[in-house]
């Protein structure tokens, strides 16, 4: 999946989350869920855009972790929504599946970056320019 495809996918996830938020009842539970779900669900797309603008591999790895956490939190709030009975589970299942897939994608991407970073570090010779010892 390309960067642009994943940007679109996370944006569509946010838009679908907002539709669920708009459909929640105006009860105390509905408002609590709407607030938390709205924040975490839209944060997935916003933070993935930040991943794409990362200035370093370390920054990218860190930001991917944030996207992973927000997608997982969204899945949590979708689960709460279904279990509380605020909205039927079958309406939320496709979004829960998407949240889980996004978590898996971010975990895989982060692990790949970590592996590549460690591999590159092993390939570079370590130099001590201050050393007085001649080779």
Q: What pLDDT, on the 0 to 100 scale, is given for residue 5?
A: 98
pTM for this entry: 0.85
Average pLDDT, the chain: 93
Q: Render 101-134 in DSSP notation, one character per residue.
A: HHHHHHHHHHHHHHHHHHHHHHHSPP--TT----
Q: Which of 78, 8, 90 is nearest to 40 (CA)?
A: 78
Domain ranges within the chain, ordered by starting residue: 3-118
The confidence band for 119, taking pLDDT boundaries of 50, 70 and 90, is confident
Over residues 89-118, the pLDDT tens digits come to: 999 999 999 999 999 999 999 999 999 888
Size of the chain in residues: 135
Please, how many CA atoms are within 13 Å of residue 89, restricted to the half-sphere of its CB?
6
Asked if residues 41 and 74 have their Cβ atoms less than 8 Å apart, the reply is yes
DSSP designation for 126: P
Over residues 49-66, the pLDDT tens digits come to: 999 999 999 999 999 999
Q: What pLDDT, on the 0 to 100 scale, is given for residue 62?
A: 96
The CATH architecture that domain 3-118 belongs to is Up-down Bundle (1.20)
């Amino acid at each position: 999946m390309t960067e642009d495809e994943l940007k679109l996918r996370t944006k569509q996830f946010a838009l679908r989350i907002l539709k669920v938020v708009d459909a929640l009842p105006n009860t105390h539970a509905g408002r609590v869920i709407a607030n938390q779900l709205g924040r975490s669900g839209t944060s997935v797309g916003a933070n993935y855009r930040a991943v794409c603008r990362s200035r370093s591999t370390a920054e990218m790895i860190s930001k991917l972790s944030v996207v992973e956490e927000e997608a997982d939190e969204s899945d949590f709030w979708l689960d709460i929504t279904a279990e509380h009975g605020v909205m039927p589970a079958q309406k939320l299942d496709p979004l829960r599946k998407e949240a889980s897939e996004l978590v898996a994608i971010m975990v895989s991407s982060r692990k790949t970056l970590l592996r590549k970073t460690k591999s590159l570090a092993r390939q570079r010779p370590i130099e001590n320019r201050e050393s007085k010892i001649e080779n």
